[in-house]
Amino acid sequence: MQREQISIFDMFKIGIGPSSSHTLGPWRAAQQFVEILEQRQALPLVVQIKILLYGSLAKTGKGHGTDIAILLGLSGDDPVTFEVNQVGPKTEGIRTSNKLVLGGKKEISFFVNDDLLFLFNESLPYHPNAVSFQAFLSNGTALSETFYSIGGGFVVREGGQNQPKTEVDLPFPIETANNLLHWCIKTGLKISEVVMENELAWRSEQETIAGVLNIFNAIKECIYRGCHTAGLLPGGLNVARRAASLNRKLIGSNAYNNFDEWVFAIRKTGDSFHNTLDWVSCFALAVNEENASFGRVVTAPTNGAAGVIPAVLQYYLVFCDGFTDEKIIQFLLTASEIGSIFKKGATISAAMGGCQAEIGVSSAMAAAALTECLGGTQRQVLMAAEIAMEHHLGMTCDPIGGLVQIPCIERNTMGAIKAITASQLALQTNPDNAKVSLDAVVKTMWQTALDMNSKYKETSDGGLAINIPLSLPEC
């Protein structure tokens, strides 16, 4: 696999749902294409744009909002700051007016049905998530660029010309779990401390802390919003949101007015096993119902798996007395390093590896983070990540109707519960006796991904996607 330097802010990105690879990635690709046009001083000359979607982007693109993301990206809007309640009105305005303002500067005629094409039967060899942009200029020439959305909002431009960030000298270069353990043993540092030292190669500690807490603020706002929003999810499946009603049932008569008060109100409901289990499910449902509704979420490490880490972190805040900035930062730093190891050694793209690459990775990240925050050793942290992934190996991605709803939303609840269980097992085990290493599981996951039939890789061509008799528009 290609060597790359991955920061916590690469693994955790603020954006808009429902998919990091099918929404956030294409959105970023569209923005990059507009930037290229500007750099080449071609933007004022554009008279027509064509977009070609290939592979998984074509087959599940409509259900994942790929077309919506590209329209907004070409318009110059940013997923971090764009008002989520304007997603529908703005894209509908483009469709009805047949006008698109490239980068917010150059208006052109744009007919969505003719100029944004879903090539269902065509794929490009590098990655299943491919999109090509073609710009036709008034001087008779044309410019074309192809991008690959490789999972988690990461985008690669064909030819490799683009670098996501400047390469730096990391004090602790890490490609594998064994590398990570080596540095922990040599320095005596916790995993989160090793990660923080590496982050200092990019920015100051104050900047990193502020950035991580900003990520947490986006996470907590998403959980809170999802637990207080009812209704049906968009897309045609008529799936009812459950988190809000479950929150009302579980919270009972305990009153609150904001997130912090809500945390203390939840604690008052008790810490019995069934109550805790219900709350963890509620937290995960909340995030992924927001994700499915084009809400603002954090890739963790993807949008489809965005509920696992928030649910386990919220469990830690509420039921393990972890509600401090220091512990929140420790949790997210640890989780990010485990995610980066999977990205470097395998994949975090369901289009490449099935759902094991999303829910499986997020569960491993959450298990590791929880274990360190609960006082586990470095070996126990890695063991927890291994246990969580080991029991997601082979999980397929088969979204019904191409929507990130069934079975995606409930899978986040399962991933969160498995993460907590994996952490508990690791904390009660001597890791010296472990038979399976995290690196062995990463390798196995990648081998499984290569062997998996493409119909189980986010194409909606197999599994539940073809066995549930629902009448839906083609997507």
- Whether 164 shows a pLDDT value over 60: the answer reads no
> How does residue 160 score in pLDDT terms, banded at 50, 70 and 90?
low
φ, ψ (nearest 5 deg) of residue 163:
-115, 125
Q: Is 427 in the same domain as 363?
A: yes
Residues of the domain holding 241: 177-467
Q: Is 201 in the same domain as 54?
A: no
**Does 1 reside within a domain?**
no
**Does 37 reside within a domain?**
yes
**Contact call for residues 171 and 312 (beta carbons, < 8 A):** no
In 3-state terms, what secondary structure has residue 307? coil
How many distinct helices (H) and strands (E) make up the chain? Answer: 21, 9
Whether the model clears a pTM of 0.85, i.e. scores above it, the answer is yes
pLDDT at position 474: 37
**Does 240 reside within a domain?**
yes
**Does 371 reside within a domain?**
yes
Tell me the C-alpha distance between 458 and 403, whole Å: 10
- Region 427-450 average pLDDT: 97
- Cα dihedral across residues 223, 153, 237, 98: positive or negative: positive
In 3D, which of 360, 320, 318 has the Cα closest to residue 343?
A: 360
In 3-state terms, what secondary structure has residue 283? helix
Residues 195-206 have pLDDT tens digits of 999 999 999 999
Q: Is 353 in the same domain as 445?
A: yes
Q: Is 147 in the same domain as 184?
A: no
In 3D, which of 325, 322, 418 has the Cα closest to residue 366?
A: 418
Residues 266-325 have pLDDT tens digits of 999 999 999 999 999 999 999 999 999 999 999 999 999 999 999 999 999 999 988 999
CA angle 163, 169, 174 (to 5 degrees): 85
Residues 86-140 have pLDDT tens digits of 999 999 999 999 999 999 999 999 999 999 999 999 999 889 999 999 999 999 9
- Region 422-447 average pLDDT: 97
**Does 199 reside within a domain?**
yes
**Does 57 reside within a domain?**
yes
> How does residue 161 score in pLDDT terms, banded at 50, 70 and 90?
low
Q: Is 120 in the same domain as 228?
A: no
CA angle 379, 383, 388 (to 5 degrees): 155
In 3D, which of 33, 50, 26, 37 has the Cα closest to residue 109?
A: 50
pLDDT at position 472: 47
- Region 71-76 average pLDDT: 97
Amino acid at 395: M
Residues 312-353 have pLDDT tens digits of 999 999 999 889 999 999 999 999 999 999 999 999 999 999
Written as six digits, the tokens of 200 are 């200092």
- Region 47-51 average pLDDT: 97
Nearest-Å Rg of the Cα atoms of the chain is 22
In this predicted structure, which of 148-157, 225-234, 353-362 has the lowest mean pLDDT?
148-157
Written as six digits, the tokens of 37 are 């046009």
Residues in CB range of 364: below 8 A, 6 or more apart: 338, 339, 342, 384, 385, 386, 388, 389, 392, 419, 422, 438
Q: Angle between the 408-427 and 273-292 helix axes, to the nearest 10 degrees?
A: 140
Burial of residue 98 (CB within 10 Å: 0-12, 13-18, 19+) is middle
Query: Where are any strands of DSSP class E within 227-313?
Result: 296-298
More confident residue, 346 or 473: 346
Q: Is 41 in the same domain as 141?
A: yes
Written as six digits, the tokens of 401 are 């109707």
pLDDT at position 4: 84
Q: Is 343 in the same domain as 431?
A: yes
Written as six digits, the tokens of 58 are 């074509």
Helix (H) / strand (E) element for 203: namely none
Q: CATH number, domain at 79?
A: 3.30.1330.90
**Contact call for residues 24 and 79 (beta carbons, < 8 A):** yes
φ, ψ (nearest 5 deg) of residue 226:
-65, -30
Domain boundary among 157, 185, 217: 157
More confident residue, 63 or 51: 51
pLDDT at position 2: 47
pLDDT at position 469: 73
**Given the DSSP bridges, would you call strands 106-109 and 14-16 parallel, antiparallel or unpaired?**
unpaired
Alpha-carbon torsion angle 206, 212, 218, 222, nearest 10: -150
pLDDT at position 470: 67
Question: For all residues of the chain together, what is the average pLDDT?
Answer: 94
**Given the DSSP bridges, would you call strands 129-137 and 46-54 parallel, antiparallel or unpaired?**
antiparallel
- Region 250-261 average pLDDT: 97
- Region 361-389 average pLDDT: 98
Q: Is 203 in the same domain as 303?
A: yes
φ, ψ (nearest 5 deg) of residue 341:
-65, -40
Q: Is 439 in the same domain as 312?
A: yes
Alpha helices in 130-226 (DSSP H): 177-187, 191-199, 205-226
Q: Is 140 in the same domain as 187?
A: no
**Contact call for residues 104 and 76 (beta carbons, < 8 A):** yes
**Does 107 reside within a domain?**
yes
Domain total in the chain: 2
Residues in CB range of 48: below 8 A, 6 or more apart: 108, 109, 115, 135, 136
> How does residue 159 score in pLDDT terms, banded at 50, 70 and 90?
confident
Q: Is 93 in the same domain as 220?
A: no
Exposure string of 161-188, with b = 16+ CB inside 10 Å and e = fewer, is: eeeeeeeeeeebebebbeebbebbeeee
Tell me the C-alpha distance between 182 and 199, whole Å: 18
C-beta pairs of 204-211 under 8 Å, 24+ apart in sequence: 208/8, 209/325, 209/329, 211/8, 211/9
Tell me the C-alpha distance between 167 and 255, whole Å: 50
Residues in CB range of 344: below 8 A, 6 or more apart: 1, 3, 4, 6, 175, 176
> How does residue 52 score in pLDDT terms, banded at 50, 70 and 90?
very high
Query: Among all chains, which residue has been given the structure tokens 């998403």?
Result: 222
Written as six digits, the tokens of 441 are 């599981």
Residues 167-180 have pLDDT tens digits of 899 999 999 999 99
| DSSP codes of every residue in 39-75 | HTT-GGGEEEEEEEEEHHHHHSHHHHTHHHHHHHHHT
Q: Is 57 in the same domain as 201?
A: no
**Does 172 reside within a domain?**
no
